Structure 1
Amino acid sequence: MSTSTSDDYKVRAVRPDDWPAVKELRLDALRDPLAPVAFFETYEEAAAHPDAFWQERAIGSGENSESARQIVAEAPDGSWAGCLTVLVEEPGTKDWTGHLVERRQGHVVGVFVRPEHRGNGLIQALFDAGVEWAWQQRVERVRLFVHVDNGRAQGAYRKAGFLPSGLTVSFAKEEPESELEFVLERP
């Protein structure tokens, strides 16, 4: 566990030239023991992506995007300690679960904090920055999905102000409904 506090980190949007660090952090996230219930991609799938994929990801969710924002936390030594991404979902479209989006909303994905940086408030700093950006995009609420078996993440999301909406979905046709929607309503 880190002895740093969240104030010791620089929390900011990804820049296009950050793509190597975007790739490195995602691959590290996919090595986490809870990755199979936290992410819908395997390490092997992500590692097979060409550099162009990571470059596009850094641009598409970077500081100049109005439809997605990847927020990262730089540790005091300059390494990346964690990240999350907020996607803007438009009403009338279908989300990646296949459900109709009824309102303009933010959707948090890709939440990860390296184990040595957990427990110091960093996740809250990431959520604060991501949610603030979402409110600036005029969304009505921010949501995320979390696996029913990922208690660690559920606790962190509740601490950040997200609450279960009652919606439970499945992302794979062969799986039972196992993903809980958590929401944060606009104040």
Structure 2
Amino acid sequence: MEHVVRTVRAEEWPQVKELRLAALRDPVAAVAFLETYEQGVTRSDAFWQERAFNASEAGSSDVRQFVAVAPDGRWDGSVTVLVERPDVEQPFGERVDVHQAHVVGVFVRSEARGAGLAEELFRAATEWAWSLAEPRIERVRLYVHEDNPRAAAFYRRIGFVPTGSTVPVPGDPSAREIEHAVGRP
């Protein structure tokens, strides 16, 4: 693989913004993300600066964004990992019983798909989660929209299994997000 997979750096907020907006323009964005392109494009530079800082090693110890950087410097993919703690309410409103990691914001540009980037991004993300000493992560999870079978098949192929837990999609209670998880190796 020619790409380098690494964490974002705080000063790379313009690249964080560009890749996220590209993700939000993807044809499956409506079932892959909880944000629209129209929402993302109106966010201030300060928002993107804070987002990049928090996801970098200099920022929060509970968030990491991993990117796949091509030899020419172009960012072709990304995943973000959030540490979830039992004493904190989670984004979907539920509480968790164990320290776990939540993978969000999965995206690989269409022209870079099929080259193993998603697998490499997930490897980096889960290795980071498992490496944490405090808190000790017991499982890594993600949610996939019920109308996104391609993503669900990829997650199952790399070891994530449906847990049986579902939550309504924020803003569309008639649609469901299906939880997939992998336990500590």
Sort the TM-score into its range (normalised by shorter chain). over 0.9
Q: Out of 95, 100, 107, which is 1:105 matched to?
A: 100
8 Å contact kept, 1:29–1:35: yes
Structure 1: runs of 5 or more not aligned: 1-6
Counterpart for residue 86 of structure 1: 81
Counterpart for residue 156 of structure 1: 154
How far apart are residue 151 of structure 1 and its match? 1.1
Once the two structures are aligned, what percentage of the paired residues are identical? 54
Counterpart for residue 46 of structure 2: 52
Q: Structure 1, residues 77-116: CA drift from partner, whole Å, max 9, x if none? A: 2100000000000012221111111110000000000000
Q: Give yes or no for the alignment of 1:145 onto 2:143.
A: yes
8 Å contact kept, 1:168–1:177: no
Return the alpha-carbon distance in structure 1 between the equivalents of residues 63 and 142 of structure 2.
14
Structure 2: runs of 5 or more not aligned: none
Q: Structure 1, residues 113-161: CA drift from partner, whole Å, max 9, x if none? A: 0000001111000000000111112211000000011011111211221
Which residue identity is paired with 1:154? A
Which residue identity is paired with 1:168? T
Counterpart for residue 131 of structure 1: 126
8 Å contact kept, 2:87–2:95: yes
How far apart are residue 174 of structure 1 and its match? 4.7
SS of equivalent residue, structure 1 residue 92: coil
How far apart are residue 168 of structure 1 and its match? 0.9
Q: TM-score, normalised by structure 2?
A: 0.94
Aligned-residue CA RMSD (Å): 1.1
How far apart are residue 172 of structure 1 and its match? 2.5
- Higher percent of residues as strand: 2
Return the alpha-carbon distance in structure 1 between the equivalents of residues 154 and 87 of structure 2.
30
The count of aligned residue pairs is 181
Deviates more, 1:38-47 or 1:57-66: 57-66
Q: Give yes or no for the alignment of 1:12 onto 2:9.
A: no
